[in-house]
Structure 1
Amino acid sequence: MFNKSHPILPVDIQSLLLTLLLISLFFPFYITLIVFCLVMIILAATGLLSVKQWPKHRTAKSIILFTVYALGISLIFHNWVGVLIAVGMIILLFFGFYYARAARVDYLEEIMNVSLIASIILMFFAMMEHYGIIAEWDYTFLSKAMNKVHPSRVEATFFNPNYFAMILEFFSIFGLYQFIKAKRWLQKLTYLALTLCNLYSLALTGCRTSYLVIIVAYYIFFFMIGYKKQAILSLIVLTTLAIVAFGMGYLPRFNELTFAFSDRGEIWETACRALKDNFLFGQGPLTYMHVYSHYSTHYTQHAHNIFLDILLSYGLVGTSLLAYPFYQLLKLFKRMSAYPALRLPLALMVSLVSVIFTHGLTDVTIFWIQTAGIFLAVILIAPNLLKSAQEGEKNFL
């Protein structure tokens, strides 16, 4: 599973640590944090997180500079929550550079299989929550402010229904990937059933944006693997089903659309006013929460639009630091497209990116340890996928 370039900690132990961390992503976030801290301590103690092993290319330098910028700008504007998040980013940087260096391409398969197995348990958890057999997970022992109830919406172990929704969007793409890849009909039926289970759980979250996300992501997935007719067909069929379901009143919370747009409109207006006052620099992570009281009484943590929130939090300067790594990611995808063996993994990764940006039109659900954890676990394998293809390892997946 992992490259054997660091004998200090046996490869099997590294593999076990990363698998445990992956599994922890499906537990409440404080469990994930505890496991992450333990893994980081072990990796640091064995020298695997040394700065000397950090990559030297410009993309890495830009990411490092961005995290330092996020910390600095938060300190300047006394955004203490932003400071805490920026410190977390820097810690994550140590882990991310290790993971990108160590994770082998076959770990991608493990990520998807573990996720799809977990999705079955999460579906039953969501059903029990939906039908009132169990209550929402209680986080009040951490903070009284976390005592937020979401009527008629399920969140399972993900703190917020919208976080759970993004996780399920990822799972639905994993299921589609495995369905296309499977050779036997029994395998195909299994992955089809898992995908449908995840779509059912997704409906229970009551996340309205998810319907658009799935339509866009599935279209992109089919298009990227060269199934252009299937891409158009999926677009037509899924859109038609959504319209029919809406007309019959089967889509949850769509009767509240007027309020939802009014609510988002007020948030976006507040964010735009704050952005005009500090367009260049921002005030660090969660700037909206830090400054909203100067412009509105509408409290929320972020701007509920990923593009607006990034600009508001980091300004033009910080956003430009993020733009370069994203540009390099697009270049990496383009290079991967030259290898037929990478067609499926590439479609998977591009679809996951589309999930972030489509869902990001109305929310910022990727900025959470569990959603970001699964996304980065997949995306950071991309360079090693390309390297394996270039070296002629045709059967690496």
Structure 2
Amino acid sequence: MKVMNRTTINGLMMGLFLSIVLSTYLPPVMLAVVGILMVFVYRDRWTANEWPEKTFLGFIILSCISWVYNPSWFYWVPIGIIPIVMFGLYYSLSLWVRHVVKWSWPEVQRAYLFFWLAGLYVALIVIIQQIDWHVINNSLGPLMDFYREHRWESEHSVRSVGTSGNSNLAAALLICFALMSIYAMSVLKKPWQKVGAFAVFILYCAAIWCTGSRGAWVGLVIGMIVQLWMTGHRKRTVSITLAILLFVYLCPQFIPRKESLYATIEVRLKVWSTAFEIFKENWLFGVLPLHFGQLFAKMAGFYVWHAHNIFLGIASEYGIIGLGLFLILIFMTIRRARRWRKQANQKEEKRLAGMLLSLIIALLGHGMYDYPIIAPQVGLMFMLSVIMIHTQYERRCLCKPVWDEGSKAQVSEWAMLKKVITAAVVWLKSGPLRVLINLATGGYRKRA
């Protein structure tokens, strides 16, 4: 592998995180840059039997088979190329993080704290989109026009779309930033830093409210529960969970857009039932993204991009095989995150494992009512968390960590001393010590 400057590597990783914040168009570009660098820089063996690389390769093979079995086009582009390229880029990203970046957990912590602060840009854009003030409109006019012109909402809405072009996708990003705020409150040392982290958390919650997303609150609560559970405070987690459920029961008016809840559920049920019919007709290999929308329009009479449920979406797009691959990946990620947390020797590292896992579970919880990880921004955030968990698990649990070198040296010295003592005891037993015992007990007999 050609040697790259650490500053360049860290700069590229920061650019990858910033691409998630700035625009829905940038993450594929940054992923492509990483993929090209891997082709020209990385000269070692490209592994195919590690987690999560084997899952990405499995989806690549499955996408090829699915498209050959059921060919389809998006304009003039074969639809199968799109998931093949995306999972190929995720595969190269995983190798990049493991073999080139090689971050220790403190470096991962610094990167995510930087990412957490950069997320304020998303929150401010979301809140500004709800403010009709000529001073802001004049000063930020071109920027706000750009995000306004690139909306991906299926209908006209006053809900904020942030930098993602869609209110639910913006809410998914804000969920993750809010969970990072909780992590920041637990690891930052100074009181003013903890107060500032709490204030940022409130700001992210206000931005989520501006998106009008109901599923986002479900994802945020589930993510908070997971993060609290991973701290080891089980009783506190149960108490907070019950308190949240009681609050929702007693104050249902806090549910955003409550008046349209039943109408939305009716539409969702129609989408889910049609998606399930598509899955039943293509249960083995699925129909792939984009082609799902084409088939849905023929069956339902109106067009939707996806199944509005993460598990139903994967099942209909990649079949039962793809759903199995995804569930195995989630299971292995949860398992490794828990083992990483148990092996970590510092509170900050334990909390880091919990925070990364909470991002994944929160997006899955939000995905019960939507399919956010299909979008480049949210998908990259989801996959980065998965990759970070697996790479840090390998550093902590499969390799001898750096912090253990001192104890390793002490163990080596003790092992050497133990060998010396053992050899001395054996010599005494076989020589002088045995003679003295025989003389004392009268068991010594002089040779004839």
TM-score surpassing 0.5?
yes
> Does the alignment pair 1:288 with 2:292?
yes
Deviation at 1:223, TM superposition (A): 1.5
> Does the alignment pair 1:183 with 2:189?
yes
Letter in 2 for 1:52: R
Deviation at 1:244, TM superposition (A): 5.1
Letter in 1 for 2:299: Y
Q: What residue ranges of structure 1 are gaps of 5+ in the alignment?
A: 1-5
The match for 1:120 is 120
3-state SS of paired residue (1:338): helix
Q: Contact between 1:139 and 1:146, CA under 8 Å: does it hold in 2? A: no
In structure 2, C-alpha distance between the alignment counterparts of 1:58 and 1:17, rounded to whole Å: 23
In structure 2, C-alpha distance between the alignment counterparts of 1:58 and 1:357, rounded to whole Å: 19
3-state SS of paired residue (1:295): helix
Deviation at 1:77, TM superposition (A): 1.7
Change (3 A) 1:199 1:379: same
Letter in 1 for 2:356: M
Deviation at 1:349, TM superposition (A): 2.5
The match for 2:376 is 369
Match of 2:70 among 65, 77, 86: 77
3-state SS of paired residue (2:288): coil
Deviation at 1:279, TM superposition (A): 1.4
The match for 2:53 is 60
Change (3 A) 1:150 1:116: farther
Write the mapping of 1:205-216 to structure 2, written as runs, cut at 5 A.
205-216=211-222
Moved more, 57-66 or 203-212: 57-66
The match for 2:391 is 384
3-state SS of paired residue (1:154): coil
Change (3 A) 1:378 1:274: closer
Change (3 A) 1:278 1:43: closer
In structure 1, C-alpha distance between the alignment counterparts of 2:314 and 2:355, rounded to whole Å: 25
The match for 2:425 is none
Aligned residues: 384
Write the mapping of 1:153-172 to structure 2, written as runs, cut at 5 A.
153-172=159-178
In structure 2, C-alpha distance between the alignment counterparts of 1:356 and 1:317, rounded to whole Å: 22
Moved more, 211-220 or 145-154: 145-154
In structure 2, C-alpha distance between the alignment counterparts of 1:15 and 1:154, rounded to whole Å: 32
Moved more, 96-105 or 363-372: 96-105
Change (3 A) 1:202 1:300: same
In structure 2, C-alpha distance between the alignment counterparts of 1:280 and 1:56, rounded to whole Å: 23
In structure 2, C-alpha distance between the alignment counterparts of 1:76 and 1:51, rounded to whole Å: 34
Letter in 2 for 1:352: L
In structure 1, C-alpha distance between the alignment counterparts of 2:281 and 2:270, rounded to whole Å: 17
The match for 1:132 is 132
In structure 2, C-alpha distance between the alignment counterparts of 1:301 and 1:51, rounded to whole Å: 39
Change (3 A) 1:215 1:32: closer
With normalisation by structure 1, the TM-score equals 0.87
The match for 2:88 is 90
Q: Contact between 2:109 and 2:352, CA under 8 Å: does it hold in 1? A: no
In structure 1, C-alpha distance between the alignment counterparts of 2:52 and 2:112, rounded to whole Å: 27
Q: Contact between 2:152 and 2:166, CA under 8 Å: does it hold in 1? A: no
Write the mapping of 1:1-397 to structure 2, written as runs, cut at 5 A.
6-45=1-40, 47-48=41-42, 52-57=45-50, 60-81=53-74, 82-83=79-80, 84-101=82-99, 102-104=101-103, 105-133=105-133, 134=137, 138=146, 150-243=156-249, 245-247=251-253, 250-341=254-345, 342-390=349-397, 391-394=400-403
Q: Contact between 1:74 and 1:80, CA under 8 Å: does it hold in 2? A: no
In structure 1, C-alpha distance between the alignment counterparts of 2:235 and 2:338, rounded to whole Å: 22
In structure 2, C-alpha distance between the alignment counterparts of 1:279 and 1:20, rounded to whole Å: 39
Give a deviation string over 1:175-231, Cα, whole Å, max 9, x none. Answer: 101111222211111111111111111111100112222222212211221122331
Deviation at 1:149, TM superposition (A): 6.0
Q: Which has the higher contact order (CA 8 A, sep 6+)?
A: 1
Give a deviation string over 1:280-324, Cα, whole Å, max 9, x none. Answer: 221122443131133211310111111111111111223233343
In structure 2, C-alpha distance between the alignment counterparts of 1:192 and 1:58, rounded to whole Å: 35
Letter in 2 for 1:85: P
Moved more, 217-226 or 92-101: 92-101
3-state SS of paired residue (1:310): helix
In structure 2, C-alpha distance between the alignment counterparts of 1:282 and 1:360, rounded to whole Å: 19
3-state SS of paired residue (2:16): helix
Deviation at 1:34, TM superposition (A): 3.4
Change (3 A) 1:137 1:33: farther
3-state SS of paired residue (1:53): coil
The match for 2:432 is none
Letter in 2 for 1:30: Y
In structure 2, C-alpha distance between the alignment counterparts of 1:34 and 1:226, rounded to whole Å: 39
In structure 2, C-alpha distance between the alignment counterparts of 1:314 and 1:43, rounded to whole Å: 27
Q: Contact between 2:363 and 2:382, CA under 8 Å: does it hold in 1? A: no
- Please identify the structure whose Cα radius of gyration is greater: 2
Q: Contact between 1:215 and 1:234, CA under 8 Å: does it hold in 2? A: no
Change (3 A) 1:171 1:96: same
3-state SS of paired residue (1:29): coil
Letter in 2 for 1:61: K
Q: Contact between 1:218 and 1:351, CA under 8 Å: does it hold in 2? A: yes
Letter in 2 for 1:9: M
Bigger share in helix: 2
3-state SS of paired residue (2:161): coil
Deviation at 1:78, TM superposition (A): 2.2
With normalisation by structure 2, the TM-score equals 0.78
